[in-house]
């Protein structure tokens, strides 16, 4: 069964190509979902897929691209019911 990862990444994560980085990594791992900036300065990633690739994505998000400085990541896991919510991985 597929899983869902919801991660909010805090630190210097806006204006450093973090969303592009997250989308590239998610697509490379065959995941679907979305990444977006929040009004509070964090980045929110929602990704669905198999647990192992999701864990790999989380590891990459915890490091971020070279220009970023990730201070903290809030993580929430859940199971995907049915076909899930996404058909691709998009930047919003």
Neighbours of 6 (CB within 10 A): 15
| Residue 90, beta-bridge partner list | 34
- Which member of 19, 27, 28, 60 is catalytic? 19
* Catalytic residue check, 27: no
- Which member of 27, 37, 51, 60 is catalytic? 37
Q: Identify the CA nearest to 18 among candidates 40, 42, 47, 2.
A: 42
Structure tokens at 14: 């806006």
* Catalytic residue check, 60: no
CA of 76: how far to CAs of 8, 15, 29, 54, in Å? 9, 25, 19, 12
Which residues form the catalytic set? 19, 37
């Amino acid at each position: 069964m597929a899983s869902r990862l919801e991660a909010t990444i805090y630190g210097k994560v806006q204006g450093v190509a973090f969303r592009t980085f997250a989308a590239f990594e998610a697509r490379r791992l065959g995941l679907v979902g979305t990444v977006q900036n929040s009004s509070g300065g964090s980045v929110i990633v929602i990704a669905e897929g198999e647990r192992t690739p999701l864990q790999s994505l989380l590891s990459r998000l915890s490091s971020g691209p070279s220009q970023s400085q990730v201070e903290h990541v809030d993580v929430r896991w859940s199971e995907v019911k049915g076909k899930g919510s996404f058909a691709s991985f998009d930047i919003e």
